[in-house]
Amino acid sequence: MGDEAQQTDRRVEAFSPEAIRAQFPALDQAVHGKPLVYLDNAATTQKPRMVIDTVREFYERDNANIHRGVHTLSARASERFEGARERIARSLNADSEREIVFVRGVTEAINLLAHSLSADWSAGDEVIVSELEHHANIVPWLMLKERKGIEIKVIPANDQGELEVDALPDLISDRTRLVAVNHVSNALGTVNPVARISEIARERGVPLLVDGAQGLPHGPVDVQALGCDFYACSSHKVFGPSGVGALYARGDWFERLPPFLGGGDMIEEVRFDGIRFAPPPSKFEAGTPNIEGAIGFAAALEWADGLDWLAIERHEQALLERMTDGLSTIEGLSIVGQARHKVPVVSFLVEGAHPHDIGTLLDSMGIAVRTGHHCAMPLMQRFGALTGTARASAAFYNTFDDIDRFVDATKRVRDMLV
Ligand SMILES: *Cc1c(COP(=O)(O)O)cnc(C)c1O
């Protein structure tokens, strides 16, 4: 995303939000008698028919456990699972599929890193996160603070919801073991200057982890261009199945790190007096993985890679502008997070109305938004939004009509509640 040189050769077909939308069966339904307007994409995305068909066909034809069987179905399932890994490596522009480990999602990816990276950390070592983080990139470090006495430092956000990256160099010390930030804030929609953060971290020899949960849904990601050491993503946020994701680790990181979970598939030899671990990526994939999920995830990325991302970026920016302009006309409504570089996510407050009531009334009009703290309580505290916010988050399959219906409904809700 934001990397235009890389996007120019991806224009496979002309972009039409209506044509894209028609590929998503779940979007074509009524809720409380009104056509569904789905604006909760930062929580999870809907799935295109191609992904649904891929998963169904896998169950109908190839389903078997992987890696252990000599029989035909197991060989097919293994081949498709490893093919999915190659596809994901290609989509992220990793050097090798050995840099990709399947996980349950971003949450597990960060827990894996917190466990494995910290094997040689001691009290007083530091992790730098940002004020914009999701709990998935806060809680594992807080748990390490309790267990090992590490320190957590925070890159502050300004009143627009942008990171004050200039504060980073002074936060880094010779005890800093990791910088960990999200690519895009799920709560405010801010796109963070990850390449710049990466430069600063690299100059000081500190590895960088990027929580990419909200990055990948809004454009191709190139881990080489970003310059990060680790990139974590969740399939369900990017039009694929739930319960699966990928962790990218540059070069020989996975060789050097100790494993996270122990069990079958991640070993070469087990004796009661010792173990030898399998080489990565197997070393980090104990137990039966989410095979159909990985295959569906790869299908989703393959499908998305064929889209015209320059046109999508323009469409998403137009959706954002329409949403921002529309909501700004509503009395007593304030938008939390007005960064210059945003994806179409708008968090807002209405004076005198509880976000939960706004969400419930919008639902009765067929409109799905999320309300609450968006798994980012420190960020909500930063903006004084103690009851959380209401958040509308669009994807490229949303249309101007969706946005207009949402804005009109929000106006009516405001008049009902205030
Ligand atoms: C959704 C999300 C996560 C957590 O992803 P899971 O798939 O629930 O593990 C982490 N970070 C951000 C920014 C997210 O949006």
Note the pLDDT of residue 68: 78
pLDDT of residue 69: 79
- Nearest-CA neighbor of 117 among 242, 232, 40? 232
C-beta of residue 415 within 8 angstroms of C-beta of residue 334: no
- pLDDT at 361 (0 to 100): 98
The two tokens of residue 153 are 């430092």
Cis peptide before 281 (omega within 30 of 0): yes
Task: Quote the CA–CA distance of 285 and 260 in Å, as a whole number.
Answer: 9
Q: How far is the CA of 134 from the centre of ligand 1 (A)?
A: 7
Distance, CA 41 to ligand 1 centroid (Å)?
Answer: 12
Burial (Cβ within 10 Å: 0-12, 13-18, ≥19) of residue 331: exposed
Q: Which residue ranges have their beta carbon within 6 Å of ligand 1? A: 42, 105-107, 134, 136, 182, 186, 211, 213-214, 234, 236-237, 245
Domains within the chain, CATH numbers bracketed? 3-31+308-417 (3.90.1150.10), 51-305 (3.40.640.10)
What's residue 62's pLDDT?
97
List the chain pLDDT tens, one digit each, 418 residues: 544 444 444 444 568 999 999 999 999 999 999 999 999 999 999 999 999 999 999 999 999 999 877 899 999 999 999 999 999 999 999 999 999 999 999 999 999 999 999 999 999 999 999 999 999 999 999 999 999 999 999 999 999 999 999 999 999 999 999 999 999 999 999 999 999 999 999 999 999 999 999 999 999 999 999 999 999 999 999 999 999 999 999 999 999 999 999 999 999 999 999 999 999 999 999 999 999 999 999 999 999 999 999 999 999 999 999 999 999 999 999 999 999 999 999 999 999 999 999 999 999 999 999 999 999 999 999 999 989 999 999 999 999 999 999 999 999 999 999 9
**Whether the Cβ atoms of residue 152 and residue 145 lie closer than 8 Å to each other:** yes
Alpha carbon of 70 to ligand 1 centroid (Å): 37
How far is it, in rounded angstroms, from Cα 196 to Cα 130?
14
228 noted as active-site residue:
no
Cβ(165)–Cβ(354) under 8 Å?
no
pLDDT score of 14: 65
Atom of ligand 1 nearest to the CA of 109: 9
- Whether the model clears a pTM of 0.85, i.e. scores above it, the answer is yes
Which residues, other chains included, contact 90 with Cβ-Cβ below 8 Å and sequence gap of 6+? none
**Integer angstrom CA distances of residue 113 from 43, 127, 229, 287, 343:** 23, 12, 11, 18, 27
Give, for ligand 1, the residue of 110, 112, 134 to mutate: max count of ligand atoms closer than 8 Å to Cβ.
134
Please give the pLDDT value at position 7: 46
The candidate with the shortest Cα–Cα distance to 15, out of 261, 392, 318, is 318
Pocket probe for ligand 1: among 233, 234, 391, the residue whose CB has the most ligand atoms within 8 Å is: 234
Nearest residue by C-alpha to atom 14 in ligand 1: 213
Q: Of 365, 375, 376, 380, which is the active-site residue?
A: 375
The residue type found at 65 is N
Q: State the distance from the centre of ligand 1 to the C-alpha of 104, rounded, in angstroms.
A: 11
Compute the distance between CA of residue 412 and CA of residue 366 in angstroms, rounded to an integer: 13
